[in-house]
Structures are given as C-alpha cells and as structure tokens.
Amino acid sequence: MAQIVEDVSRTFNEFLLIPGLTTKECIPDQICLKTPLVKHKKGQIPEIKLNIPFVSAIMQSVSDDHMAIALARNGGLSFIFGSQSIQDQAEMVKRVKKYKAGFVVSDANLTPENTLRDVIALKQRKGFSTIGITDDGTSNGVLLGLVTSRDYRPGIDDENKKIKEFMTPSSKLITGKFGISLDEANDKIWDNKLNTLPIIDDSNHLRYFVFRKDYDGHQNNPNELLDSHKRLLVGAGINTRDYKERIPRLVESGVDVLCIDSSDGFSEWQKDTIQFVRDNYGDTVKIGAGNVVDKDGFLYLTEAGADFIKVGIGGGSICITREQKGIGRGQASALIEVAKARDDYYKEKGIYIPICSDGGIVQDYHMALALAMGADFLMMGRYFARFDESPTKKLMLGGSYVKEYWGEGSNRARNWQRYDMGGNDSLKFEEGVDSYVPYAGKLKDNLNITLGKIKSTMCSCGATSISELKRLAKITMVSSTSIIEGGAHDVILKETKTNDV
C-alpha cells in the first residue's frame, strides 16, 4: 500500500500568530521587508534581493510588462508569463528594462531629412515623445538635434515637413559630457529646468539621455527594485519544452531572473532545464524551480542547482489540480516542511536557498503567516489581477466592477507546457478555471495598505525584519469555533468594504 503521511494537510486559515514583546524599535517606519530572491552562501550578500517580499504570478492574466513596471517601481518583481511566443515575451522584457535606466540608450532616432510623418509614426510605434536626431539616424550617431512633442502640432503642421525645419538644433541644446555622474546629470537638469539631458562624447556622438521624469519617479517610489545600471528588475517564466530556444532570447533581452513554470516541479524535466542554464551560462543566469510540497521535492531541485524554489500545489484560487488529479497539499503544511528542509540544508551546507510560497493566500494576514512559517517571498496571482496594471479587461458585472482572471491550465490560456508530463498532447485536460475577481483600483494604493498590515503584524510579534519574524514568531493552531470568534460576531453589521485579497 501507499506510504501514509499521518500529518493533516493544513491551510493558513488554521493558524494564528501569538503576539510577542513589542519593543520601542518595533514601529512601522523601522520595519525592513527586504528579502533574498536567489541562493547565496553563508556570510555573502545575495546577488538579487527584493525590497518587498512579493512577486506576481507567471500568468497571462497577471504578469505582462505593465505589471512588471508597476511592481518593480514599488519594490517587488514580476515574472512575465511564458505562454506566448518567444519574441513577444522577449519584447515585454525589453520594454521593462528600457522603462527607467538613469542613463537611457536612445531607442527612437531619425535624421534631419526625415519628415514629420516619420516622427508621428515612430512615436506611435515606440511610444516615445523624445526623438534624437543624428546624422545617420542611429542611437550613437552624431547628435544634430532633438524633437519633442512641443516642436510640432499633429493635424495642423504639414506632415511632409523635414525634421531639420522644426527640430531644436544641437547648438541650442544643453548637453552633458560622457562620464558625467547621474547625480551631476540630475543637477544639470534641475539647474537648467530641462526635461531631457542628452549625453554626448568628445566626438559629439549621442550616448545616452537622462530624463527628469526618472528622477521624479524615483523620489515618489523610493523602494524601486533596480539593477546596477538603474534599470528596473524583471523576471520571466519558462517551460521545460522550448527552453533551449526561449532562454537565450530572454537573456539577450536583459532578463534578470528566470523561473520554470510548472504545477509539479519534482521532475527530471526541470533538472534538465536547470542543467542547460548551468552548462551555457554558469551562475550568471539565475533560475528558480518548482512547485514542490515536501522535503524530497525541495532537495531534488536544490541538488539540481535551482536558485530559489517555489512551494505549493493546488492552492491557487483558480487552480483545480487537486480536484482533477488528487495531488497537492495544504499550503501551510507544505511550507512548514520545506522551510525546515531549507534550514537544515543551510546548517549542513552553508548555502541558503530562498523559498517562495505560491498559492493559498486568502486574507492579507495569511501573508504574514507565510513569512513567519519560513517563506522568503510570496508569489500571488489573484491579488495582483485585481489592479489597473494587470493586462485583463475591467467589466461591469452585477452592478460591480470586476477584472477577468483565468488559470494557466484553463482552455483559455492553453498553457499545457506548465502541466507537461512528456506525454501525448491529446491527453491534456484543464487544471485551471476562467473567472472574475473584484476590481480594486491602482496597485500602489492597495499595496501600501497590505504592506502596512504586514508591518503592523510584525510589530506585534516583536520583529523588525523578515528574518527576525521567522526566528521570533509563535504560531498557534485554531479551532473552527475560534475562527468564528476571530471575526465580527453577535452584532448587526453595517455594509463595509474590505481591502483583503
């Protein structure tokens, strides 16, 4: 007969945190939510750290370039969905990396002999309103001028007019010399009341642009997750089918970290995919793996070389893997076992493997529970699908606004690679549903409320960091009766709204 695991499969809803001593240092402004994203040796700093412990799920209805930009600007990271063409996914990665870079390589350039029609077409195609005018129309040609939206009037000016007739010539431009620091460039922008500062070399070749909006954006988003070139960080999901073609294109596009997207990661397919990365890129390309629900799955992917490991099977709100196949585990039970395996591995080997809790989050306080139980960061789909920045439509349904939300295993997504067992495609069946989630507004507004709740919980536990929360937190199981007691009861409620997920 099968091996029987005696422990009950438990969810976050069956636990509560017991308050610890709240010291005078435990105030929300002093809570640090930074957390490692990738593995590192004892005493070393991980190459990638998150400023908040959130990543968005690898889903068509959640993580495109718009979500990736919004989340990275607020300290988290998105894994752009892989159930699309390699070219389209790579283009999404490029758009995130080019969104904000401090020193920006110009991606919209023309020559003085081009026309206003070319300017309008380029703006529509690229979305940029600042166009560098160079002698050869390239990003590194000799800078001859600049065109912005203030230099012409669409629909009024003759579209056949040559750019040289209305551009701002280089003789009238304030520029910075190649080698100038970003602080110096920003000072020059402010001192001269500029929106754009072109950076040129000694031969007057255009090297970069520095934009005022980037400085303003950073002041409003101090938690921005940036690389060493001041560009936003972005991840991408991959599968175990076309990884040999997909990974090189994503790396070329500037992706910062990859993650194998699978409902069941305890497989040789994932080991082969990780090995491909190590053989071709060594440790320079970071790759996460999963999902697993126990010690054996964690150790298998750890030995395969994963940089982080996702935990959770069947706990997502749109996932029906447990219902269809009878596999999975309560998210709390899975996380507790894997976290212990992670800690034991760290003690034995001196290598810390971050784990990501994926699924099972219903209430905001479940996030704090997941972190206390050992998760380094959380992957969420439904939470982020509700916001303006997700790629789905906002609809009116039953008098309320909703957004569409569907699983990668649904017929709508048809992301069968995520559930690949190496068999015949005709055997594929749905492991996800097509649904709606209540519309919640802007990501930043909701995120601030959620992070405020987590910080408040950490203060009550006497912890000022996620690592302290794991060490100091006390967790108790709850009975069905105490769950009822924990909510509003024995009163007549007025109609209220909630910001929980």
User: Which residues have a catalytic role annotated?
Assistant: 319, 418
Cα distances (angstroms) measured from residue 242 to each of 86, 238, 417, 420: 9, 8, 9, 12
Which residue in 53, 34, 39 sits closest to 352, CA to CA?
39
What does the alpha-carbon distance between residue 292 and residue 310 come to, in Å, rounded to a whole number? 7
The alpha-helical segments, DSSP class H, found in 282-432 are 295-304, 321-325, 331-349, 365-372, 382-385
Burial 360-374 (b: 16+ CB within 10 A, else e): bbeebbbbbbbbbbb
Which residue in 18, 11, 13 sits closest to 474, CA to CA?
18
Read off the DSSP letter of residue 101: -
Cα dihedral 180, 185, 188, 190, rounded to 10, equals -170
Pairing of β 143-147 and β 351-352? unpaired
- SS3 state at 179: coil
The count of residues in the chain is: 501
Amino acid at position 315, single letter = G
Pairing of β 15-18 and β 474-477? antiparallel
What does the alpha-carbon distance between residue 38 and residue 294 come to, in Å, rounded to a whole number? 20
Residue pair 62/390 in contact (Cβ under 8 Å)? The answer is yes
Amino acid at position 302, single letter = T
Burial 318-336 (b: 16+ CB within 10 A, else e): bbbbbeeeeebbbbbbbbb
What does the alpha-carbon distance between residue 367 and residue 302 come to, in Å, rounded to a whole number? 24
